[in-house]
Amino acid sequence: MQSIPYHNGPLPSKQLETLQSALLAWYERQRRDLPWRATDDPYAKLVAEVMLQQTQVDRVIPKYREFLGLFPTFEALAEAARAEVIRAWSSLGYNMRAVRLHDIARRVVEEHGGTLPSDPATLRTFKGLGPYTVAALASFAFGRDAAVVDTNVRRVLTRLAGYTERPSPKELDALAQSVLPAGRSPDWNQAMMDLGATVCLPRPRCGACPIEAHCASAPVFKRGDGAIAEQRAAYAAPRQSMFEGSTRYYRGRVVEALRLAPNGLRLSQLRDVVQPEAALTEFAALVEGLRRDGLVEVYAGGDAGAAVVQLP
């Protein structure tokens, strides 16, 4: 993978320091007021990062506050019933995250005395914490010099270095780490995220960018009035399949229906509410997948359709 190099070579250290200072100063002035930035509690940071994995910031903010009101500590979450946690997750989608977070809380309490381990190697052993979330916790919860690369940061980095094709994850991680200022990991990572979310958009606002002078792509984008930026494969978001009608869509509808039915529903009733066009055997297979994932419980009835399904 080739990139347009900075000034025909690596970015000189003094110029990198200038870039870092400019972005951090911009962040101090323009930072978004997000509730998880106002706490040093690793538990609250974990809740935020799990919620943010596949959900937009604006949707997460009210649920984050509500969830912490219900479950303010690892101990409170660990002691809660699984059904209570799933109900509290309502509207966020990707309900397996609620199950994984509940399991993490129980393990933290049982194995680590209620304190989230700070060691990234240990964090990686928790199911549901992938490389991105581990890096985010290392930086935001524990202040380690770890680069955090989400979709917005990837867009900023690839433009900054002048990539015209999508770099490999290894290349991108190396680039992210190379520009990270030592000892400023939390502010730097959040500054990069804010820049990507508000300025370095799919069609960028280069004139408002605090590091425009250091960006290899800015001159090209400005000549093309930003239109070329949306066409580069380096940071174009991959197309996703339609959600409605997918297995994930119906799984979400099952959980949502059961949130409103504290005593559960017969399988046939649940099918009629969620996917009336499906054969009962097909729908039963969908529910079985949810049972294996710990999202529902199934109690056998006189026949398949009479089985009772409810949140665990």
Tokens for 213, please give them: 């002078």
Q: How far is CA 144 from the centre of its chain?
A: 19
Task: Give residues with Cβ within 8 angstroms of 125, minimum separation 6.
Answer: none
Catalytic residue among 17, 28, 49, 111: 49
49 is catalytic: yes
DSSP result, 254-285: HHHHHHT-TT-EEHHHHHHHH-TTS-HHHHHH
Alpha carbons 257 and 290: distance in angstroms, whole number: 13
> Which ranges of the chain does DSSP label H, i.e. alpha helix?
13-30, 42-52, 57-70, 74-79, 82-88, 96-112, 120-123, 131-140, 151-161, 169-178, 185-198, 218-223, 247-259, 267-274, 280-292
Who's near 170: CB < 8 A, 6+ residues apart? none
- Measured distance CA(197)–CA(199) in Å, rounded: 6
The pair of structure tokens assigned to 262 is: 């504290």
Please identify every residue annotated as catalytic. 49
